[in-house]
């Protein structure tokens, strides 16, 4: 076998279909020429595999497709779906609470080890969940236990299905997560693209396939099971109490993996009231912004937008650079006012060809998020625009200085205020950027004047100029769930609002049109991460206050996104498996 790094200029691929697959004769011809130039002389088409694929638009270089190619036959991988031979045994099956990404990969790891896990998910299976979510978007009738946050697949099932991660880990678990997803039906492209994604439509099928494999291996998945308690004694968990439509039930367990997701506020309160150690952590809040996807394609791809945008709609990732040091999350603001300066704003969970979705999970509150299908063929692009906040910012919204759930109270305050902005109709509040900017100037004219003098704020905010034209002709929002126009400029404290507006101004300087007055903002984006951490030992992964309880994933405060949550689930399960060996020093 041999590997080659090659580069094909996009101008050589202008007549291709833009998929860059071996079946495309234009691409295949250009690939053969590039391989010959790289020194590859004799090979057969069946011996060729694309290992990595990326686009190079760096300044000073001619735009090109970059590939890592392997030539040669590869041995077949071992079949992981073969009958499980139990490698471990325990007195009682482990219990996994929650069946989002962390719970799914934790449960699959335990099942493949022969431990027949019992998985409790408060929401419905993915098929019933899909029906209920659609009904919510169509009618506004919310099921508090089955929605965009709760149910099989967790919040990740209604997202862009992004599979990138910032986790730095040496055990290739990120690759294992991707390979597992492909094994159960995800497209193989996620193994070669620099920004892999599945899309909510395909991800639902993959999730169901993994669940069926867990059951085939002897595991049990119980839907509609809302956990209400963790009995135990001597600082050790001994099982789980839960409720279903049939009444109260319980299951004994020496190991309970808590993969609840960060929307399970009732469970966090139950944990706090039962003495489980929790701590505050920073998060970020803000808005969603929508642009025409064609505009983003033109900005990022230039003249090659027609070639690339159909199969690879353009993405972006931006953060603002402040002229002066400002208070960071949890440092110095301690209140709902301006806080002494601006903070960095950044984009998050950008969804090309996607939809802004109503992701509410509680009556009387609103939450927004972004979602894309696998084709990413919607006409709009959307992204969160966020500003970091921390414990000092939470204090005005909670009952006491030492409440580990102060961040939840902070979130709820703005979710409920957003609900009232659209007269309690349940519609997401939205506003054109021009109207948002004008309202901000009316509300905070004095603060803006001071920031301009100090050099911390742009003197020319793009949202105050005329629209850039053709890309915004007949531009409207693309949402799942109803939205209504409202003035969202006063939703957040001014330090958040002005930081977002300053970020938009800076981003427009890098991507002309980002701050177009016809861009659309939707509120509120409050669930980007968990504001609470369930404290655990960094080696054993067990709660520092209750042995046998394994806080896992995003809700526990240890991951963010599908891939990192999957990694955390695998690692937590692996830590427990190590306890089942006779020679492990942590076994008690």
Residue 76 lies in a domain: no
User: What pLDDT is recorded for position 551?
Assistant: 98
Look at residues 365, 369, 413 and name the one whose alpha carbon lies nearest to residue 389: 413
* pTM over cut 0.85: yes
Residue 413 lies in a domain: yes
**Residue 77 pLDDT > 70, yes or no?**
no
Domain that residue 13 falls in: 2-71
* Residue with the larger pLDDT of the pair 156 and 461: 156
Radius of gyration of the chain (CA): 25
Q: What is the pLDDT of residues 387-428, one digit of tens each?
A: 999 999 999 888 777 899 999 999 999 999 999 999 999 999
CATH number at residue 229: 3.50.50.60
Residue 584 lies in a domain: no
User: What pLDDT is recorded for position 470?
Assistant: 72
435 and 294 in a single domain? The answer is yes
Going by pLDDT thresholds of 50, 70 and 90, the confidence category of residue 74 is low
User: What pLDDT is recorded for position 81?
Assistant: 52
Q: What is the pLDDT of residues 439-489, one digit of tens each?
A: 999 998 888 888 777 776 664 666 656 666 678 888 999 999 999 999 999
Residue 78 lies in a domain: no
Burial of 76 per CB tally in 10 Å (0-12, 13-18, 19+): exposed
Going by pLDDT thresholds of 50, 70 and 90, the confidence category of residue 524 is very high
256 and 311 in a single domain? The answer is no
User: What pLDDT is recorded for position 326?
Assistant: 46
* Residue with the larger pLDDT of the pair 172 and 311: 311
Look at residues 155, 81, 88, 111 and name the one whose alpha carbon lies nearest to residue 257: 111
Last residue of a domain, one of 525, 542, 559: 525
Going by pLDDT thresholds of 50, 70 and 90, the confidence category of residue 82 is very low
512 and 547 in a single domain? The answer is no
Last residue of a domain, one of 71, 87, 119: 71
Q: What is the pLDDT of residues 35-70, one digit of tens each?
A: 999 998 777 778 889 999 999 999 999 999 999 999
Residue 81 lies in a domain: no
Residue 405 lies in a domain: yes
197 and 111 in a single domain? The answer is yes
Residue 545 lies in a domain: yes
How many domains is the chain built from? 3
**Residue 195 pLDDT > 80, yes or no?**
yes
Going by pLDDT thresholds of 50, 70 and 90, the confidence category of residue 205 is very high
Q: How many CA atoms within 13 Å lie on the side-chain side of 297? A: 23
Ramachandran assignment for 56, one of left (phi > 0), alpha (psi -120 to 50 degrees), beta (any other): beta
160 and 52 in a single domain? The answer is no
341 and 472 in a single domain? The answer is yes
Q: How far apart are CA 346 and CA 376, in angstroms?
A: 22
383 and 316 in a single domain? The answer is yes
52 and 128 in a single domain? The answer is no
56 and 129 in a single domain? The answer is no
Q: How far is CA 161 from the centre of its chain?
A: 7
402 and 512 in a single domain? The answer is yes
Kind plus residue range of the DSSP H or E element containing 137: helix 126-139
Residue 586 lies in a domain: no
Q: How far apart are CA 394 and CA 397, in angstroms?
A: 6
User: What pLDDT is recorded for position 586?
Assistant: 42
Last residue of a domain, one of 525, 552, 569: 525
220 and 324 in a single domain? The answer is no
259 and 296 in a single domain? The answer is no
Mean pLDDT, residues 365-372: 96
Q: What is the pLDDT of residues 255-279, one digit of tens each?
A: 999 999 889 999 999 999 999 999 9
Mean pLDDT, residues 524-537: 96
User: What pLDDT is recorded for position 336?
Assistant: 44
């Amino acid at each position: 076998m041999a590997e080659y790094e090659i580069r094909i200029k996009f101008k050589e691929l202008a007549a291709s279909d833009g998929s860059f697959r071996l079946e495309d004769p234009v691409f295949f011809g250009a690939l053969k020429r590039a391989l010959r130039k790289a020194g590859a002389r004799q090979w057969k088409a069946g011996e060729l595999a694309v290992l990595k694929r990326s686009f190079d638009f760096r300044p000073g270089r001619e735009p090109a497709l970059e590939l890592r190619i392997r030539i040669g036959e590869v041995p077949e991988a071992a079949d992981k779906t073969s009958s499980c031979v139990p490698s471990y045994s325990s007195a009682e099956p482990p219990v996994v609470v929650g069946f989002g990404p962390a719970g799914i990969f934790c449960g699959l790891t335990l099942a493949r080890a022969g431990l027949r896990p019992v998985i409790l998910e408060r929401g419905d299976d993915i098929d019933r969940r899909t029906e209920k979510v659609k009904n919510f978007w169509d009618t506004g009738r919310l099921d508090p236990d089955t929605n965009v946050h709760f149910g099989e697949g967790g919040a990740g099932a209604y997202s862009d299905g992004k599979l990138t991660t910032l986790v730095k880990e040496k055990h290739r678990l990120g690759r294992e997560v991707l390979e597992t997803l492909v094994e159960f039906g995800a497209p193989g492209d996620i193994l070669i693209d620099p920004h892999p994604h599945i899309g909510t439509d395909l991800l639902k099928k993959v999730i169901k396939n993994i669940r069926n494999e867990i059951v085939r291996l002897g595991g049990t998945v119980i839907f509609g099971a809302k956990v209400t308690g963790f009995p135990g004694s001597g600082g050790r968990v001994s099982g789980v109490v839960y409720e279903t439509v049939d009444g109260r039930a319980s299951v004994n367990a020496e190991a309970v993996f808590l993969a609840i997701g960060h929307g399970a506020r009732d469970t966090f309160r139950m944990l706090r009231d039962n003495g489980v150690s929790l701590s505050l952590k920073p998060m970020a809040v803000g808005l969603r912004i929508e642009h025409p996807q064609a505009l983003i394609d033109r900005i990022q791809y230039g003249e090659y937008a027609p070639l690339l945008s159909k199969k690879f709609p353009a993405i972006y990732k931006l953060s603002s650079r402040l002229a002066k040091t400002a208070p960071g999350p949890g440092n110095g603001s301690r209140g709902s006012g301006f806080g002494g300066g601006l903070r960095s704003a950044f984009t998050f969970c950008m969804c090309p060809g996607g939809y802004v979705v109503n992701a509410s999970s509680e009556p009387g509150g609103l939450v927004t998020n972004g979602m894309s299908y696998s084709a990413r063929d919607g006409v709009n692009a959307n992204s969160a625009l966020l500003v970091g906040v921390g414990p000092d910012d939470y204090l005005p919204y909670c009952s006491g200085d030492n409440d580990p759930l102060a961040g939840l109270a902070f979130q709820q305050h703005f979710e409920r205020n957003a609900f009232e902005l659209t007269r309690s109709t349940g519609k997401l509040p939205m506003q054109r950027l021009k109207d948002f900017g004008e309202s901000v100037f009316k509300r905070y004219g004095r603060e803006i004047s001071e920031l301009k003098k100090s050099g911390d704020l742009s003197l020319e905010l793009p949202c105050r100029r005329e629209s850039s034209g053709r890309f915004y002709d007949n531009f409207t929002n693309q949402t799942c769930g109803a939205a209504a126009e409202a003035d969202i400029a006063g939703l957040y404290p001014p330090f958040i609002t002005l930081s977002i507006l300053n970020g938009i101004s800076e981003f427009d300087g890098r991507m002309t049109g980002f701050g177009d007055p016809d861009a659309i903002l939707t509120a509120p984006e409050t669930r980007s991460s968990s504001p609470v951490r369930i404290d655990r030992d960094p080696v054993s992964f067990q709660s520092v206050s209750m042995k046998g309880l394994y806080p896992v994933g995003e809700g526990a405060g240890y991951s963010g996104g599908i891939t990192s949550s999957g990694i955390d689930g695998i690692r937590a399960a692996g830590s427990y498996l190590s306890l089942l060996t006779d020679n492990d020093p942590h076994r008690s």
